[in-house]
Structure 1
Amino acid sequence: MKIEVKNITKKYGEKLALNSLTFQLDEPKIYGLLGRNGAGKTTFMEILAGQILASDGEILIDGENPFDNQSLTESVCLIKEGNNFKKDLTMKNILKINSYFYPSWDQKLADTLVKEYNLNPKAKVKTLSKGMESALGIIVGLASKAPITVFDEPYIGLDAAARKKFYNILLEEFEDEPRTIIFSTHLIDEVSLMFEEVIILQEGKLALQEDADVLRKRSYAVSGSLEQVKAFIQNKEVITTKQLAGMMTAYVFGNMEEAKVSGLTVEGVPIQDLMIYLTERKGA
């Protein structure tokens, strides 16, 4: 499903959560939606899921607005960090309700994941630990088979082994049935290899949208003497620089092969570090 984000602005009183945000997602991929706290990620996801309205601009899914549009909202599954489900319902009831709402619901997958995470279907949400509630959200998100599935920090309370299990199952399901998966996380180093495209928000604006492989190949750090590095980065797209005792490190977006023949020390930049450096830049 094609997603068009057109000059979306969202205000909460005087606070500007989104500021003329514009970009487009054209095909089924695993997208990494990144940014610091307060960048506008959750607000964007709630508008995409049809849960709230923008103050200005619009989001279109295959040309239609998702707000108050059941044919679209049943195609979008948003799993947030918490409070996804009514506390007095049992897990069994929640899975049953969602099976009615999502036309592509996979009950066999849901049952398998309940066993995989060792959950008690008869337990009420209010009795669950944070990790168990997160596991329930993951089950609903994966089993919904919604054409647009959005995970906003879905693993709070899960240990490293449980998170890894989630990542592996997500990849398996995506390979079997590709869909648009938007994944917002602060544990970027854990999941960045899954991303096919990266979107970085800063203060409600788009700081970067790029193919993840391009970012990995073209984002690099060069280190050497102050004079050498300054000479090398002339006319380059420099993200940021650091200096210490006559030495300099510059983080650059460009041709890494050119850097390798320069005689300087060259290293790749992890996507998590790139996000930090980009959002540190004024006017990024």
Structure 2
Amino acid sequence: MDPVIEVHDLTKRYKDTLALDGVSFRVERNAIYGFLGRNGAGKTTAMSILTAQNFATSGTVRVFGEDPYENPRVLNRMCFVRESQKYPDEANATIAFRSARLFFPHWDQQLCEQLIGDFQLPLKTPIKKLSRGQLSAVGVIIGLASRAEITFFDEPYLGLDAVARQIFYDRLLEDYAEHPRTILLSSHLIDEIANLIERVLVIDDGRIIMDQSAEDARGQATNIVGDADLLEPFVRGREVLHREGLGRVASVTFLGRLSPDERREVEAAGLDLAPVPLQQLIVRMTQREPSDSGAERSPTTAHTEGAKR
């Protein structure tokens, strides 16, 4: 284990809003993380504190073993790119990249120029006149070309169309393979990034509810496809995450795994076991339902917290 980020009991309160509620997690060196959760779950707040752009109410944050606040030894080793990134009104993309080149010691100008061509980015147009997709491309290029030891992408690529997003994913993987570093991707497009991420951090209502490898995360649930009547005995009594059907054929995803004997019974019944999409699992985990007290709470969150006690 080689953590580059260590967070312990991190809390952030804005007046009457508790944005982070005693969050603790570690981020390992040279891995791609999916930092996932609903709008307002606390993702941006956490990343802002990690990059010293916000203050914690309580708790501790260590990046490369040090407090990042006003610490140039830490800050110039990180890059934080967000969708709402601000640039001077008179700046164009060329100025933005020149400024980034001065700040990031591992900046790769050749990669920057390659990405400019990939995204067909106009360099002389003032940034304030760029389209949303072009503005997203500026942020993505800075994030990749910086080759910072830790890079945070807080959904800056949402303005890109599907083709441009795929270019981003392809270039990220290509460059990560040659120059490993720690990358945190915050995204609502879970299906699109599912094959990129190695570890999953899910935050909901200011609390971490999942922190594990992507493979282990997918293994939390099981999907069975086949005759609806035949599969029902295997589903009965389990927490169903998703169900759909067409005629006599049904597909049911439920929380938990089948035992080896149950898997053999499923196969003997002519039913199929299929992979569970990561997005389906996380959407269910962060789907809040009204409790008896009127507060909203995820049933799977309650299950996870109970398992930790």
TM over 0.5: yes
Distance 1:211-1:109 versus aligned 2 partners, 3 A rule: same
Paired letter, 1:118 = Q
* CA deviation vs aligned residue, 1:143-179 (integer Å, no higher than 9, x gap): 1110000101121321111110110000001000100
User: 1:257/1:27 Cα in 2 relative to 1: closer, same or farther (>3 Å)?
Assistant: farther
Give the conservation status (yes or no) of the 8 Å contact 1:239–1:278.
no
Tell me whether 1:266 sits opposite 2:273 in the alignment. yes
Equivalent in the alignment of 2:139? 137
Q: Determine the structure 1 residue equivalent to 2:30.
A: 28
In 1, distance between residues paired with 2:197 and 2:8? 23
Q: 1:254 matched to which residue of 2? A: 257
CA contact (8 A) 2:33 2:183 kept: yes
Post-superposition CA distance 1:50-83 (Å, at most 9, x none) = 1111111121012211121122111111110123
The DSSP-based 3-state class of the residue aligned with 1:93 is helix
Question: Contact 2:201–2:211 (CA<8 Å) still a contact in 1?
Answer: yes
Query: How many residues are aligned here?
Result: 280
Offset, 1:260: 2.6
Q: Contact conserved, 1:229 with 1:249, CA < 8 A, in 2?
A: no
In terms of mean alpha carbon deviation, does 66-75 or 248-257 score higher?
248-257
Equivalent residues in 2 for 1:206-245 (5 A)? Answer: 206-222=208-224, 224-225=228-229, 228-229=233-234, 233=238, 238=239, 240=241
- Structure 1 residue 87, shift from structure 2 partner: 2.8
Structure 2 distance, partners of 1:213, 1:230, is 22
TM-score, normalised by the number of residues in structure 1: 0.90
Residue 277 (str. 1) matches residue 284 (str. 2): yes
| Aligned position for 1:157 | 159
Identity %: 35
Match of 2:105 in 1: 103
Q: Secondary structure at the match of 1:156?
A: helix
Unaligned runs of 5+ in 1: none
Summarize the alignment of residues 165-180 of structure 1 with structure 2, pairs less than 5 Å apart.
165-180=167-182
- Equivalent pair of 1:10/1:56 in contact (CA under 8 Å): yes
Output the amino acid matched with 1:275: I
State whether residues 52 and 67 of structure 1, in contact with CA within 8 Å, keep that contact through their aligned partners in structure 2: no
Distance 1:255 1:145, change over 3 A: farther
Q: Partners in 1 of 2:241 and 2:219 — Cα distance?
A: 18
TM-score normalized with structure 2 length: 0.83
Let me know the Cα RMSD of the aligned residues: 2.5
Contact 1:229 1:250 in 2 (8 A): no
Aligned to 1:7: 9
Contiguous gaps of at least 5 residues in structure 2: 288-297, 302-309
**Residue 191, structure 1, aligned to residue 214, structure 2:** no
Change (3 A) 1:257 1:146: farther
The residue type paired with residue 279 of structure 1 is T
